[in-house]
A = this chain, B = another copy of it.
Amino acid sequence: MAHHAADSTHLAPLAPSTRTLLGPGPSEVPPRVLAAMGYPLLGHLDPEFVALMDETQTFLRRVMRTTNPLTLAVSGTGSAGMEAVVVNLIEPGDKMLVCVNGVFGGRMVDVAERAGAVVTAIERPYGEAFDPEEVRTALKQVQPKVVGIVHAETSTGVLQPVEEIAKLAHEHGALIALDTVTSLAGVPVEIDAWGIDAVYSGTQKCLSCPPGLAPVSFGPRAVETIQKRTHKVQSWYLDMTMIMRYWGSDRFYHHTAPISMNYALRESLALVLEEGLEVRFARHLRNHLALKAGLKALGIAYVPAEGFQLPQLNCIRIPEGIEDVPVRKRLLEQWGIEIGGGLGALKGKAWRIGLMGHSSRPANVTLVLAALETCLRDLGYACQPGAAVAAAADSYRLAAESVAVS
């Protein structure tokens, strides 16, 4: 990003370097979505923009597999989506049970406490998932109004099965709020079939849209809860009772929607639907298995146990004797590859390789394995030259054969 001194009157245009984005998000953005970001703007009350909002809602419902009317994009990043769900459902003094097995469960506790909730957190170590039985026990004890849980923990790469937990929440009269920031459009997310009452996501993970919007959806029980509130929602900006009037048939002005971000979201959702959700999930899985085979050939293990590994976010243990930062620095500087470091309890101990949305491609799997192997071998790590890429190629071959047979 070369440019003149800041006090020059001529300021050279921005010229960001090209990256291969294989961290925990943002993921790479397809050309069609980038193109839409650069379109001239419509006004936020223009009939064409209003039609785009309608269409975006329709697309979002299909991607989330829900019929919830109150499904829309909040004008902030995924964390704003988390806050929107919490502050709309919680009133001061309400009890909330939060399942914490990583940074984002921990964040939900903080957000809920700030909203005046009396929070009970149950914990699992980083890298583990919750068993429905421990949630049942906590539900009995706490009798919360809302249960909050993360479907795909971005900090640990853990996939949390939630269908059974949602059922238990309802049996105990609680609503369930789900974080799908990293899961949506990468693994199955079944809002209606699982009975999820409120859900939020982000755009910059498996939707492969730039960061800046947070898709949310509220089911009938959640909407009823919001309508029965006795206190105003503490955040004006995130107050669904007002936002739904702008996204609803009223078109009542609330705030100026981020026009270009909404263009991009519309295009990214269109691409997801054109590919088809099941095909997209299979693609994420196929690239994950190839990466995993390559990592195995390098002797690198996953943090989450088998069966709980997110295909779109591979959280792996840094090999013994290898330092975190020098490897990531070299990947970035030599190849322009971004992978993620560990967060929280995994800082310095894990890497996170994201294969999300448009980033989930054989080229990226092959490149990151080849580059990582080179880095590791240069640092004295013992491994067979070329083994990682070969193992990935075998995995792809196997996948192609199984498709041909079936």
B236 touches A83 (CB 8 A): yes
Q: With the chains together, A332 CA to B19 CA distance in Å?
A: 41
Copies in the complex: 2
Option from B55, B77, B232 in Cβ contact (under 8 Å) with A256: B77
Q: Is A386 an interface residue (CB 8 A)?
A: no
Q: Is A44 an interface residue (CB 8 A)?
A: yes
Q: With the chains together, A260 CA to B36 CA distance in Å?
A: 12
Interface residue stretch chosen among A4-12, A219-227, A314-322, A374-382: A4-12
Q: With the chains together, A25 CA to B258 CA distance in Å?
A: 11
Please report which residues of chain A, range 22-81, place their CB below 8 angstroms from some CB of chain B when the two chains form the complex: 23, 25-26, 28-29, 32, 34-44, 46-49, 51-52, 55, 58-59, 75-80
Please indicate the chain B residues that have their CB under 8 angstroms from the CB of A18 in the complex: 40
Option from B37, B111, B257 in Cβ contact (under 8 Å) with A260: B37
Q: With the chains together, A17 CA to B52 CA distance in Å?
A: 12
Q: Is A273 an interface residue (CB 8 A)?
A: yes
Q: With the chains together, A233 CA to B235 CA distance in Å?
A: 12
Please indicate the chain B residues that have their CB under 8 angstroms from the CB of A232 in the complex: 113-114
A83 touches B237 (CB 8 A): yes
A44 touches B76 (CB 8 A): no
> Contacts A25-B256, A211-B257: A236 and B79 contacting too (C-beta < 8 A)?
yes
Report A163 CB to chain B, min CB distance, Å: 26
Give a binary string over A302-339; 1 marks a CB under 8 Å from any B CB, 0 the rest.
00000000000000000000000000000010000010
Q: Is A204 an interface residue (CB 8 A)?
A: yes
